[in-house]
Amino acid sequence: MKSAVLTKDAEGKLVVRVVDMDRPAPGPGELVVDMKACGLCGTDLEKMRGEYTASMPVIGHEAVGTVSAVGAGVEGFKAGDRVFPHHHVPCYECELCMAGSETMCKNYRTSNIAPGGFSEAFRVPSWNVEKGGVLKLPQSMSFEVASLIEPLACCVRALRRCDVRAGDAVLVVGAGPVGMSHALLLRKLGAAVMLSDVSETRLQFASDAGFGTVLNAAKVDVPQRAKAETGGMGADVAMVATGSKEAIVQGLRSIRKGGTVCLFGVPAKGSVLPYDVSELYNAEQMVVSSYAATEEDTKEALRVLESNAPEFSRLVTHRFPLSRFSEAVEIASSAKAMKVVVTP
């Protein structure tokens, strides 16, 4: 079978190659899934550039497909089932899980679908199956829409961690695929949404989606506009959907006294902010980070997508077969695309 995997060349540099390998076979408690669609995530791109250090270097974690083989002892699944398998699953039993920090569980990052989601087929570990990490998909949902479950679940968790409520003014910094996912969720919550980005293509996409306050950070003073849009107060929450340190500072300068900045995008390791931390203290502002998602979040994301598929399906603007994976990476890196989905 074909699989896009992250390896190192003779000089030790990270490279992605589409290679031939044997189809996986399920061990006890495991599933093998034939991939039907897999979203190309910003963290995949960061891993390819060697900038992402939060988890193991496996690419492709937004995969969905059909079960093709079932390991001994697995109950509730059979060949042909349409499924979303979560790549990381916590134990739900340790102190961190019980404290609500499930994605910090020591077991969370220890297992993954193998060899990764950008494969014609992949193996789902018994841990993920046993802990409820595999969701069945409704027959009415396309695989393309279902590939949005994982990134949308991450957004669900972030909004929950920030306790966003109806009527809140929220600035979404970064109007890429996850930024737009946040914006769509926020609109459904009844929040007043502002978006900022430096890409006119993405800002136009946001405007076409019905968002009225879209700000080009390269041309306007976003913090000033955020305050003007809120009667001089500033946003209740700034959701920073990019790892740019400049974007983080933009979010910090755009919130009200007592407001919250959520670090959702992944900052590069070693990032240092040019910001006076005393301003945070004096304004009693909070910085919250949000990493990944739990099964509570994936189930909520599935419910949202099931009832709002047309709205979210517009996020997918480009589709590539696995044989053209390098083209998929190129367009996803250009900011000319929203969501890029890879198919077998």
- Give the residue extent of every domain in the chain: 2-153+292-343, 163-289
Helix (H, G, I), strand (E, B) or coil at 212: coil
Ramachandran region, residue 52 (left: φ > 0; alpha: ψ -120 to 50; beta: rest):
beta
pLDDT on residue 173: 98
- Which tokens belong to 281? 């203290």
pLDDT on residue 268: 84
* Measured distance CA(136)–CA(124) in Å, rounded: 14
Domain 2-153+292-343: CATH architecture, name and number where available? Alpha-Beta Complex (3.90)
Q: Where are the beta strands (DSSP E) in the chain?
A: 2-8, 14-20, 31-40, 62-70, 82-85, 121-124, 134-136, 169-173, 192-197, 213-216, 235-240, 255-263, 286-289, 316-321, 339-343
In this structure, what is the dihedral angle of CA atoms 318, 125, 88, 67, given to the nearest 10 degrees? 40
CATH of segment(s) 163-289: 3.40.50.720
- Which tokens belong to 294? 């739990």
The single residue listed with the structure tokens 């009415």 is 140
pLDDT on residue 55: 57
Same CATH fold assignment for domains 2-153+292-343 and 163-289:
no
DSSP per-residue letters across 167-184: T-EEEEE--SHHHHHHHH
Stretches where the chain sits below pLDDT 70 are 52-56
Q: What would the pLDDT profile of 49-103 be if each residue is shown by its tens digit?
A: 887 655 557 899 999 999 999 999 999 999 999 999 999 999 999 999 999 999 9
pLDDT on residue 112: 96
Q: What would the pLDDT profile of 278-288 be if each residue is shown by its tens digit?
A: 999 999 999 99
pLDDT on residue 246: 97
Ramachandran region, residue 60 (left: φ > 0; alpha: ψ -120 to 50; beta: rest):
left
